[in-house]
Amino acid sequence: MPISGKRIQRSVIFQVFLAMAVIAGMALASMSLSVYVTVSAQNDAEAINLAGSLRMHSYRISNYLGLASQARSDDVEQRLAAEMKQVTDKLNASIIPLVVNEANNVPLEKSYALVLSNWQQGMAPVIQSSLDGATSWQESHRRYNAGLDQWVDDIDAMVTHLQRDNEGKIELLGMTEAVSIILIIFIVLYLIMRADSNFVVPLRKLLKAAEAVERGNLGHRVTVYPENELGVLAASFNTMTASLEAQYRTLEKQVEERTRELHRSNQALYFLYKTSREVASSPYDERLLRVFLAELQKVSNVEKINLCVNAEPNYPNYEYLGTDTAATDYCDGDCNICALPPAQPANPHAPGLSLPIGSRSDNYGFLYVKPHNGEKLLPWQSQLLKTVAETLSTSFAFHRNLGQEHRLMLLEERSTIARELHDSLAQSLSYMKLETARLKKLISKDSQPHLIEEAIEDLQEGINAAYKHLRELLVTFRVKLDSPNLRSALEHAVQEFNELSAAEITLDYKIDGAGLGPNGDIHVLHVIREAINNAVKHAAAGRISLRCERNQNGDCIFTVDDDGVGIPERPEKAHHYGLYTMRERAQRLGGMLHFSVRDCGGTRVQLRVPTGTAKAIA
């Protein structure tokens, strides 16, 4: 862009340069004149001194002429000639004629010419005639003294003119310095005034504007636009603040939008948290589901949300739950209208979105969503609703699987109880039934009393054994795994046996992280409790140690060592099924149970459980 001359003249740089140039020019001129005056006046003092010495030479010549007229000195002629030569040299070959020529001073030139003329034509010829012998010394003395006063006056006039010329130079230097100082003062004042209007005021405006912007007032603008760099700076500042204000407003809008999104996200997260904590824990509670749907409608900002669900999967007889019970609206009371394919827009009879609730093979129903005024769902709304539908799907599937697992566990436990009763009480009752039939036969045949007594004793022994085994089964069935893991359950069992028996029982557990599953933990707990109970009741042990560790293959090894009487070669007894039950539980775990006699005395019961097999069975 071309720059005009007016703009250049008002430029800050140009004005500063011009001010410095003017001040520097004045100072340079003053210094130049000082140097000139100094150089031109450096010979004035010598010239004045030499001119003043001419008067001394005049009187000395007069004295020498008097001596010569009286013949009082032999060398007076030589001295007179020397004095005459000095005066001639000073008038013609000294600094005096040089100063007179350079001064360009007419009065000085005239007075110098008069002194020189008087000397060459009046005074010097008088002296020279006596030296040449043409005139007597008395006559020369008389004639010289007759013109001496006038000549001395002429010399005084020349000295005065030399002095005035020198003083004129000094006065010129002083006047020049004074004028220079006055001009510099005026120039400085002018520049200060210009600087105040062109620089200080705009800078003050810019400073106030910067302070206003610093305080957050982005709407402040600079109103002074000088035609220089400060004007460009002010315009740039205004443009910058306008841009900042626009960006700030944009950022404020973005922050507000982000804040709304964050608030909405927080509401959605809190709602999902409540969904996973409350609804997921009890998905069949109708009251809770209605509250859940009302909150979901508020959080997702839609017109309507309906839930058609059935606790049993893959059955079309849905139970209807909705946020609006107006019979004229869509899907109210008739879930088949809104039973749409997953994530597909509804037909004209149901303008909304249907989200399935279920897994790959099981369908528990669907969640129908109707936006406001037929609008499309926003991405965050779709994501929230899909997440809720997935959460409900997981909850329904989890509770159904949990119910099936409970039923399977109940059936398994009933099977276990049936086997326990069959292997123990049923056999004992069969034995007693046979003994009762035998007793009837002996009584009917009037057998000997001792045979009847033997039969009654056998029957009594069977009844006692059955009762004892019944108590053992009751204790076994009452054992529960209330602790959070197997280690806590074993610690609780060891503490219980320590309190109920005189034996000292210790636990060394080193298989943390090797979970066997809930069923596996229960079977292991039963086997170990039975082993410790046998060591306390049958082996009369004083010290019992329980070690739980892993072998090199990763299998879990449970070892019960006691210092009791030991175990016989055939530990099984009639009407006693504890060891048999322990082996059966070990087989269910896929492991092995081993009984052995320790070298140092006592019995060792060792259960080995493969971790993978136990998990699969559990």
Looking at the domain assignment, is residue 170 inside a domain? yes
Residue 466 neighbours by CB under 8 Å, 6+ apart: 424, 425, 428, 429, 432, 575
Helix (H, G, I), strand (E, B) or coil at 509: strand
Structure token pair of residue 85: 């030569």
Residue 503 CB coordination number (10 Å):
19
pLDDT of residue 559: 94
Cβ contacts of residue 8 below 8 Å, gap of 6+? 14
Question: Given this model, what pLDDT does residue 247 score?
Answer: 84
Out of 335, 367, 401, pick the residue that ends a domain: 401
Burial class (CB in 10 A: 0-12, 13-18, 19+), 193: exposed
Is position 307 within any domain? Answer: yes
Tens of pLDDT, residue by residue over 231-253, are 777 778 788 888 888 888 888 88
Among the listed residues 372, 377, 403, the one whose alpha carbon sits nearest the alpha carbon of residue 388:
377
Whether 551 shows a pLDDT value over 70: the answer reads: yes
Of the segments 82-91, 347-356, 468-477, which one has the largest average pLDDT value? 82-91
Q: Which of 353, 386, 401 is the last residue of a domain?
A: 401
For residues 504 and 599, membership in a common domain is answered with yes
Instruction: List, for residues 262-298, the tens digit of each pLDDT value.
Output: 787 777 777 777 776 766 666 666 777 777 777 777 8
Q: Are residues 491 and 607 both part of a single domain?
A: yes
Cα–Cα dist 607/618, whole Å: 17
pLDDT at 329: 45
Asked whether residue 326 is assigned to any structural domain, the reply reads yes
d(CA 33, CA 179): 12
Residue numbers of the domain that contains 60: 7-203
Residue-wise pLDDT tens digits, 163-179 = 788 777 788 778 888 88
**Helix, strand or coil, per DSSP, at residue 549:** strand
pLDDT tens per residue, range 27-61: 787 787 777 777 766 677 777 787 778 888 888 88
Residue 2 has a pLDDT of: 44
What integer best gives the mean pLDDT of the chain? 75
- Do 18 and 151 reside in the same domain of the chain? yes
- Write the single-letter amino acid at 197: S
Give me Rg for the CA atoms of the chain. Answer: 68
As a whole number of angstroms, the distance between CA 527 and CA 608 comes to: 11
CA distance 552 to 556: 10
> In whole angstroms, what is the distance from residue 552 CA to residue 113 CA?
140
What total of structural domains would you count in the chain?
3
Same domain, 53 and 168: yes
Q: DSSP class of residue 334?
A: -
Residues 464-486: what's their mean pLDDT? 63
For residue 499, report the phi and psi dihedrals to the nearest 5 degrees: -75, -30
C-alpha 177/C-alpha 180 separation (Å) is: 5
Mean pLDDT of 317-326: 64
Helical ranges in 196-312 per DSSP H: 201-214, 229-274, 286-300
| CATH value at residue 388 | 3.30.450.40
DSSP string spanning 366-408? Answer: EEEEE-GGGPPPPHHHHHHHHHHHHHHHHHHHHHHHHHHHHHH
Q: In terms of domains, do 389 and 295 share one? A: yes
Among 33, 38, 47, CA closest to 164: 47
Q: Would 282 be classed as within a structural domain?
A: yes
Are both 194 and 281 inside the same structural domain?
no
Kindly state whether residue 416 falls inside one of the protein's structural domains.
no
- Among 401, 431, 456, identify where a domain stops: 401
- Alpha-carbon torsion, ordered 408, 409, 410, 414, to 10 deg: 100
Q: What is the DSSP letter of 410?
A: H
Domain CATH number, residue 157: 1.20.120
In the chain, pLDDT over 70 holds for what percent of residues? 75
